[in-house]
Chain A
Amino acid sequence: MPALRRRLRWPGWGRVGFYLAVLVVLAVSLFPFYWIVRTSLETSAEFSAGTTSLLPAHLTFSNYTQAFTQADFARPLLNSAIIALATTAVSVFFGSLAGYAMARLRVPSGPILTFILVAGFFPVLAMVGPLFLLYRHLGFLDSIYPLIVTYLVYTLPIATWLLRNFFAQIPPDLEEAALVDGATRLRALWKVVVPVAVPGVFTAAILSFILAWNDFAFALSFLQTPSKFTAPLAIVNLGQTQNAFQVMYNRIDAAVVIVTLPIALLVLLAQRRIVSGLTAGALR
């Protein structure tokens, strides 16, 4: 691998200094996760007594079982999964159509693309009021489905941008061959262009999922019944419904760990795609 042979100038602290830096990076990134896992494995009595050691006294999973039995945390997880997956599907679908049109069909892609990207920076809290009134009027408040459309503001700009760039890189020959072979534009798109762009579609899907899974502001503004909550909202709610005297982080952190796990797994499996997606999204 040529990358391993590459010698980049690292300000002269030498090897030891470099690996020390790597260690610090790892510690800062991961140690807080250890701390919440550690906290989530404490009993409430231990937690109340305060922390005196790096390791938990003994391990208890009661906070996790409680999260599912008492707090019914499975429901918000399911809600979050439904919304995030649906948003991802819609984003990839709409994003493919728009990305293809801008990469290949003669639409004026400049202004349209600018609009789509600027929309991605629209202040979220400035959307909350009008959408609240609209959803209230339509009877959409306290339902998870309007969130799918709302979340498009997070996901659709980056998905469209990524897919447009991926489509533009596919040799036009392939599509022309399909057109000559008897395909319409749309069939060429679904049968040839999209399958060839699978890595790009994947990247767009992963980023969309992460962004949709992470929302808090919209869920906070539009959802009212705990059974409708998304996972992030449910966790925050868990803290606020507790006895205000001392917040029992051991309980909350169990839920935090549960929400973090799928995302951590996704990042470990798809690190390369995420990096390429973020950088392709930013530098071009």
Chain B
Amino acid sequence: MTTTTTAPPARRFRLSWSPRGGSDRLRADRRLGYLLVAPAVVSLLAVTGYPLLYNLWNSFHHENLTDAAQAHTFSGVSNYSKLFSSSDFVSSLTRTVGFMVVSVAFETVVAVGLALVLHKAFKGRGLVRAAVLIPWAVPTVVSALLWKTMFDPRNGFVDYLLGVFHLPGAHTTWLAGEWTSWAAILVADAWKNVPFMAIILLAGLQLIPDDVYEAARIDGASAWQSFRRITLPLLKPALVVALVFRALQAFLIFDVIFIMTGGGPGTTTETLSYFNYHAFLVDTDFGFGGAISISLVVLSLVIAGICTRALRPST
């Protein structure tokens, strides 16, 4: 501490300055910072980083609990070759991507409309917002069972409605057919997730200043034109965020499938997450499941990458 006073002023100036700030107290601050970040980082590493590495290891080994003889032995890429040649994997991947594209497209359109409604100032808007948020906040188990009730062939509201208006399709066992099952899943998923998207888009709408609309009106823009030419482009950042969130969630869909159809009828509604669950906890094949998990992680990254890249504002 006192040595600095004896050095010639001009040199001291350079010697003691380092771009990262080297004094004891700065270092103490940084050390405290790492200490404070540690619990969060370590616990998240434990539940994500550890499974990732463990999956990677498992995917190159025989790890089937029903096959103790071969346990932990190296299996090369056999789990992966089995996976990529498995028609179940290919078809569940196709289904999952198909569901993701359809549901996200559908939900985005509905969510934009809902956000526009929620954005307008009216009496009781707070209550309406709360009402819209409840479907988002309830457990997926609730939304899935709720829509299972709604689609029940004898006691569901859908059945009741079709009966009252003498429409065809009354007493349909929705969850017995492939496409009717997907329709029910889509409705249940959208009902829970549209509010989330709408809230994000609402925040985006609130960032658009009113005077832009006023200027457009003076310039003679119609309501549709001002929506198309002003609202949508300015909403893009919020749309990107909402889309990335939703696309990943839809890609990883599991709860709704498990509860509403159990992957059925047959395996026609099995998604990748369901496939992975099945490998882990029904077949107890952690090597094969690990390979699925690794592809799930990689595909999630790819989707997030595509979404953010495709929607990046063109410069």
Contacts and interface: CB of A to CB of B under 8 A. Distances in A.
A36 B200 CA distance: 28
B60 interface: no
Interface in A245-284: 247, 249, 252-253, 256, 259-260, 263-264, 266-268, 271-272, 274-275, 278-279, 282-283
B286 A129 contact: yes
B255 interface: yes
Interface residues of B, number: 106
B39 to A, nearest CB: 4
Contacts of A210: 137
Contacts of A272: 126
B223 A9 contact: yes
A232 B139 CA distance: 7
Interface of A: 3-12, 18-19, 21-22, 25-26, 28-33, 35-36, 39, 47, 50-52, 54, 90, 93-95, 97-98, 100-102, 105-107, 112, 115-116, 119, 121-134, 149-150, 152-153, 156-157, 160, 185-186, 210, 213-217, 220-221, 231-233, 235-236, 239, 247, 249, 252-253, 256, 259-260, 263-264, 266-268, 271-272, 274-275, 278-279, 282-283
B131 interface: yes
A18 B40 contact: no
A51 B160 contact: yes
A97 B36 contact: yes
A221 B281 contact: yes
B150 interface: yes
Contacts of A216: 139-141, 255, 258-259
Given A30-B131, A221-B277, A125 B296 contact: yes
Contacts, number: 319
Given A105-B33, A267-B134, A279-B199, A156 B254 contact: no
Nearest to A2: B121
Nearest to A80: B139
6 contacts: A94-B43, A128-B276, A152-B44, A186-B32, A256-B146, A263-B137
Nearest to A186: B32
B267 to A, nearest CB: 16
Given A153-B48, A267-B134, A268-B130, A100 B36 contact: yes
Interface string B184-205: 0000000100011001101110
